[in-house]
Amino acid sequence: KKILPCAALLKGEYGINDLFIGVPVKLGANGIEDIIQIKLTDKEQQALNKSADAVQELVDTLKKLAE
DSSP annotation string for 4-57? EEEEEEEESGGG-EEEEEEEEEEEETTEEEEE------HHHHHHHHHHHHHHHH
Q: What is the CATH classification number for the domain harbouring 44?
A: 3.90.110.10
pLDDT at position 31: 94
pLDDT (0 to 100) of residue 49: 98
pTM: 0.85
How many structural domains comprise the chain?
1
**The predicted structure's pLDDT at residue 36:** 97
Write the pLDDT tens digit of every residue in 14-39.
Answer: 999 999 999 999 999 999 999 999 99
Q: Which pLDDT belongs to residue 1?
A: 85
Q: Which domain holds residue 49?
A: 2-66
